[in-house]
Amino acid sequence: MRNRFVLFVRVVLVGALLSCGPARADEVAPRTVGIHAHGRLIQYGEQRVLIVKGTPRQMGLAHGRLLRDEVGDTVRAFLEEWAIARKGRTLDELRAIWKQLAPHIPKRYLEELAGIAEGSGVSLERLQLVHAIPSRYHCTGTAALPAVTADGKVYHTRSLDYSLDIGDSVRPQTNAILYVVVPDEGLPHAIVSWAGFAGCVTGMNQAGVSVGEMGSRSKDESYDGVPMIFLLREVLVRARSLDDAKAIWKKGPRTCGFNFIFCDRDEICAVECTKQSIRFFAPGEAREDEAPHYAIDGIVRRCNHFVDKAMAATQRAVYDPRKSNAGSWEAYRMQGEHLRRARGSIQASTMIEVLRGYPATHPCLHQAVMCPTDGRIWVSHATDPARDPLAGAQNQAFYQYDLNALWKSEPKVATRFGANRRVDPTVETGEVAETRKITGVFAHEPKKFLFQLRPLRTLGKVTISALTYPSPGPSRIPENLTVHAEYFRPPGEGPFPCVVVLHILDGRFYVARLVANTLAQKGIASLFVKLPYYGERRPAQRIKPENVKMQDIMDGMKQSVRDIRRGAAWLRARPEIDAKRVGIVGVSLGSFVAQMAAGADGGFDRCFFLLGGGSITEAVYSGGRDTRKIAAELNRRGWTKKKLAATLAPYEPIHHAKGIAREGVLMVNCREDTVVPPADSRAYWEALGKPRIVWYEGGHYGIKNHVFDVLNLITKHFDR
């Protein structure tokens, strides 16, 4: 999950959503949409609750029957479309992992999986392999004792900060459920989950024991143990107190490195564990005061690094997480600061504020606030990022459920705390005339084009809208012929300076949306443009690498530049935009495209190129992990580096550097970059006439450690 530049996003915990004021609350009545002898499926507005009862086999059968199609979708998304297609795992590798895990898994969960398979028609092996995928979640959790809460109750938060773009046909969050389990043997419990998933990462039982997991990788790991997802189920099935939960986890056998928050009705603790070692931290414990960490009376919190020094030595060479895991440290610090200020007045709404304080573009698959004291839970689920620019769970509605009623199969009305999405639903359409003609390889005659602007949601005082307009092409892919963009408009009448924002290679758009929102919050309008083959422009039928022609690559570059120019023309025509202050910013892949567009167009008055260089060819053959496969495929076809350089020469950013005014450029690069060679970045810098450039230590992905500096540089560069 830490691929490419996504960690740039994960180190920022800004409270933008906290400025939105209190969430709207309304009541949502339960509606039964499915019945089985051992189960019941209930619809609550946008969320679903699945209640199952009986033996493990019976509960699994009800699960599979009531969510038959959804189970198949979830398995396909996690297994074929993510673990295999994107993460490079093989079926044989997953089979080997399952073979190690299976002897340690309690029989009840094997039986439950068999029931889900039988009920859904999904093969048992495929279902097992989904549960064999290592759980490496980037997450956070906090808890507060009764002594520091407003109503004398325990509150426990959990955020599953996991990718929102798992799967192609269907996203797992589309099939999210609150899984309510009432077994014949063991304690009733509830798990925040998805159709077809029998493990647990977030949950609470009838005895008031709650659990939340956070990945914390370690060198001390092995698959010879009970998978974390099922050991947490054991806690929920068997534990009647915090001491019971600790005992179950100490006995294990455990597998990998993790952090946890465990609570019961009166007590809370943080847990750090590896295969061989485990540590428990009470709130306010002196051991937490290992600089730069600090204890807070009545509070525990954890992210994705160990506090205990001996444990930390199994995961990082430098103990200080500010240097070795900046993102996790920042989350730890800011959660702690928020709760320290709120001590004595903490309640459910306070904890929801902590969760909503995540950056709007951060990938949160689900979030929950649990109250073990009285059996209530507040749950939010992510939406599909292909349709929602703020798809994370922190931006969605939280539903409050009474678990005591659900365990009795007597569902009550739920309270929904609305998402921050109040917008004017009016769709704007119109026509814009392009006025700038370009020649050369990107040649395009100016034309008039139609557009549609559809409001999506608000973020604080910023309005986010979906913009579509026709692409000038060329492209043989029908989906590519419509450009999809997101317009972030600041409050007020303007005129605003504005920026075209271009995304990185991985296509999840976290970085681009973070940059666009940061600019808009500072009063600078931004238009995030999705490049050809990304997002909604992705072909319905995936193109295999061996079927991609060199002409497709060159056409894609032409189309990207033309699409960007058309987006800039749309901005210049807006009444709220200052047409003389239109800039462009690109990151990594987006930087190369921004450099081509800015050089060919000549109309962007300010340019910010982050992690870019002068030659696509040099980046392809740099040996970087993102381009090795591309280079290998080109070599297989007989495309040497020399041949590729000659073919792409007219398109390369350095070829168009003369079209950019040096005074308006700021470059940011890394000295040890193995993806974009520093020598190539320097060559481009010289071709531009040596504009301002900022160099950071570290490699391409190390830029995450400088995120605050970079965001500040971007906003200052365009705020003029």
Predicted pLDDT of residue 229: 96
Phi, psi of 433 (to 5 degrees): -105, 125
For residue 584, the surrounding DSSP H or E stretch is strand 577-587
Query: Is cis: bond before 474, omega within 30 of 0?
Result: yes
User: Which pLDDT score, from 0 to 100, does residue 200 have?
Assistant: 95
Residue 192 bridge partners (DSSP): 178
The token pair at 462 is 């910023």
For 558-588, b where at least 16 C-beta lie within 10 A, e where not — what string?
Answer: bbbbbbbbbbbbbbbbbeebbeebbbbbbbb
Q: Structure tokens of 634? A: 């080109």
CATH architecture of 428-718: 3-Layer(aba) Sandwich (3.40)
Rounded to the nearest angstrom, the gap between the alpha carbon of residue 118 and the centroid of all alpha carbons in its chain is 33
Take residue 211 and report the two structure tokens written for it.
Answer: 């659990």
- Please list the ranges in the chain whose pLDDT falls under 50: 1-22, 136-137
DSSP 464: E
Instruction: Sheet containing 176-183: give its strands across.
Output: 31-36, 39-44, 47-54, 176-183, 189-194, 202-205, 210-215, 258-263, 268-273, 278-281
Strand pairing report for 210-215 and 258-263: antiparallel
Find out whether 55 and 85 touch, Cβ atoms under 8 Å: no
This prediction's pTM: 0.76
Q: What is the pLDDT of residues 76-135, one digit of tens each?
A: 988 887 777 667 778 888 999 999 999 999 999 999 999 999 999 999 999 999 998 865
Query: Domain segments of the chain: what residues?
Result: 7-417, 428-718
Q: Which residues contact 165 (CB under 8 A, 6 or more apart)?
A: 171, 385, 386, 507, 508
Residues facing 160 on adjacent strands: 139, 366
Extended beta strands in 407-533, E state: 414-417, 428-433, 448-459, 462-470, 482-489, 496-502, 525-529
CA distance 413 to 677: 59
CATH for the stretch 7-417 = 3.60.60.10
